[in-house]
Amino acid sequence: MSKKSPSLDRQLVIRLLFLSLLSACVMLAIGVWIYQDVNKRAAQARQRSAQEHYTNVIADLERNWGREAFNLKTRIESLQFFDGVEHQRDQLISYLTSQGSSLEFPSLRIEDGKGTLIASFEQVRRSVPKVKFLPGQESAWVYDPAQGSLFLVFRQLIWLGKENGYLLLFKNMDHALLNQHSYPSTRLSLWWNGAPVSSSEGADGLAATASALSKSGAEARYSRLKWSEANPDNTPELIIETTSPPLLNIMQLAIPLGIGWVLLTFAAWAVIGKWFALHIGRVAMLGAASKNFIKAKSFDASIASDLEKARAEIDDEISALANNSESVMREAGKRFVHSRFH
């Protein structure tokens, strides 16, 4: 004996619930795809913009520093601090001290052609590392492991009264420099040989960047830029990290998708559910007419009413079945009456 199936009404509710669940899963999948795609594209756009911006910033900085190095060399030469009088070298130190914060290079050395130190100046009491230049080289990088400081050193040929020497100008690539050239929602850090040197957010920024780089998926939030593409093997690396939140957050996407799902579900229940309910009711009227006919053994007004409700003034297969059922019932009713009297 076959197992009795649920009623058509219950089957309708089950299928509509399944349809609602399926549409929710589809909405969720679409939402996840939109969220990831939009934020990925936004992050890539930010990275491209940041790389272009800081490529120009680096070029401007080196150009300005090179120009300032030449101007300082020219001023020192014009003031004749090296005409052979010993005390005038002290005047050079006094002159540099008087420049205060306007001096672009807080540390400098003046050497003769053999590399012997003639004069030095430091705004902050710290020793600067020895740096070697290749012939014709005008700038070089030098790292001081004792202080954990990285310097960009500019070399200018300078007249010392009797011979040419070299003016070495040290630019410290410290936290303050990066902070000066960062912009909101961006953290800069400078790395030398794979080790962090300075950050726009200080020591805390170095720790935060190192922690972020160790996490999976961090590539989407930062980009790397060689300070000098001309000599990529002997140049620091600038890491530009985006700290701003995603362009599209969960709630911005969840609310419209949730509203859309509710409206879609309501429309499905209102349109499809109403349509199914109508036809299920018509089929139920056919069933009621059949049961009443079996009980009454004759075609009466109640059966005719049930069949009329089954037709529902709709010309379709159910109406055709109702018409056929009426014909069969009328004929069977006549035969039953005839057999009863004979």
Whole-angstrom distance between the N-terminal and C-terminal Cα of the chain? 38
pLDDT digits (tens, 9 = 90+) for 256-280: 888 888 888 787 777 777 777 777 7
SS3 243: coil
What is the average pLDDT score of the chain? Answer: 81
Q: Which of left, alpha, beta for 193 (phi over 0: left; psi -120 to 50: alpha)? A: left
CATH 3.30.450, domain 79-172, yes or no: yes
Entry field: residues in the chain: 342
Closest Cα to residue 213, out of 203, 201, 223, 204? 223
Is the Cβ–Cβ distance between 170 and 141 less than 8 Å? Answer: no
How much is the average pLDDT of 196-222?
Answer: 81
Residue 298's pLDDT band, with cuts at 50, 70 and 90, is confident
Residue 168 CB burial class (10 angstroms; 0-12, 13-18, ≥19): buried
CATH 3.30.450 region(s) of the chain? Answer: 79-172
pLDDT digits (tens, 9 = 90+) for 60-115: 999 999 999 999 999 888 888 777 656 567 788 888 878 777 788 888 889 888 88
User: What pLDDT was estimated at residue 54?
Assistant: 92
Q: What is the pLDDT of residue 340?
A: 65
Q: Quick one: pLDDT band at residue 57, thresholds 50, 70, 90?
A: very high
Residue 1 clears pLDDT 50, i.e. is over it: no
Cα–Cα distance for residue pair 116/76, rounded to 1 Å: 19
